[in-house]
A = this chain, B = another copy of it.
Amino acid sequence: MSSITNLDFFARRLSQRAALDEEDRAAVSALPFQHRYLNPSAYVVREGEPPRPHCSFVLSGLAFRHKLTVHGARQIVSIHLAGDLLDLQHLFLNIADHSVQALTELEVADIDRDALREMALERPAVGQALWIDGLVDASIYREWVLNVGRRDARARIAHILCEIAVRMHAAGVIDAADFHLPMTQEQLGDATGMTSVHVNRTLKALAKDGLIDHSGRWIAIQDWNKIRREGDFNPLYLHLDQVAPHLPGPLSSMFP
């Protein structure tokens, strides 16, 4: 496990979203932080808790946000990957309304909350970059409400696969449409409001029809145009132009 000494990675990230000047970048890079590794299913944030003294930025790995009903049913409300801030909400809200857990082994930079907060308010360019981050998160939630509320099982699964593939690609985590999905079928069900049994049947059906190639926990997208159509996937809501301005690779041509 290598170590990092400053937040250049985070500063670069913010620079993609707004025009940070040299001073902004230096200030961001110099933010106090702690480098930390978490095991799968470790909690980053726990519902009902007051904010932690830090705000976690993902360096590598995946995490997910979830809420529970009183009957114990779980709904995953978003997935996060390298480059995402895991608890922007806690920069300004007094209590956690949901939990965040590591999905895979997770590498984070725990940035000092008060320092980040001050920077968000006192440095306009940094503030704007964080605003964009927060607003895109909200946009993704809206799309998920639509996904879970108005699409059938097949479209839901197709849609979430598209989203994850495109976001991984935008984050530079994968190069092609073919990727390893580190989620269990139960987690996929919790993200789409389905049971794991039905996720299984739906994946099989998508595979049979040639949209994906899937065995065990490996998923590759076979036919982008088909799956995008079936999943009613329009990447507009990801606001990629503002988040990852210069998309390289094969997917970029698919989503102009």
Q: Given known contacts A135-B92, A148-B149, A150-B73, is B97 in contact with A67 (CB within 8 Å)?
A: no
Is A165 part of the contact surface with B, judged by Cβ < 8 Å? Answer: no
Q: Is A124 an interface residue (CB 8 A)?
A: yes
| Chain B CB within 8 A of A22 CB | no
**Residues from 86 to 144 in A contacting B, C-beta threshold 8 Å:** 88-89, 91-95, 97-98, 120-122, 124, 127-128, 131-132, 134-139, 141-144
Asked whether, in the complex, the Cβ of A93 is within 8 Å of the Cβ of B150, the reply is no
Supposing A89-B138, A93-B132, A142-B98 touch, asked if A150 and B193 sit within 8 A by C-beta, the answer is yes
Q: Which of A75, A132, A136 has the most CB of B within 10 A?
A: A75
Instruction: State A77–B3 Cα separation when bound (angstroms).
Output: 42
Q: At the interface, yes or no: A205 with Cβ under 8 Å from chain B?
A: no
Complex: A73 Cα to B91 Cα, angstroms? 36
B-chain residues with CB within 8 Å of residue A151 when the two chains form the complex: 69, 73
Stretch from A30-38, A168-176, A212-220, A236-244 contacting the other chain: A236-244
Copies of this chain present in the complex amount to 2
| Alpha-carbon distance A41/B97, docked complex (angstroms) | 32
**A65-B142, A145-B141, A236-B48 as given contacts; A74 in contact with B150, CB under 8 Å:** yes
Q: How far is the CA of A145 from the CA of B139 in the complex (A)?
A: 12
Q: Choose one: B70, B77, B122, B146; the contact of A77 (CB below 8 Å).
A: B146
Do residues B146 and A67 form an inter-chain contact, with CB atoms below 8 A? yes
12 residue pairs from A and B, CB less than 8 Å apart: A67-B142, A73-B150, A75-B149, A77-B142, A77-B145, A78-B142, A93-B135, A93-B239, A120-B131, A141-B144, A148-B148, A149-B192
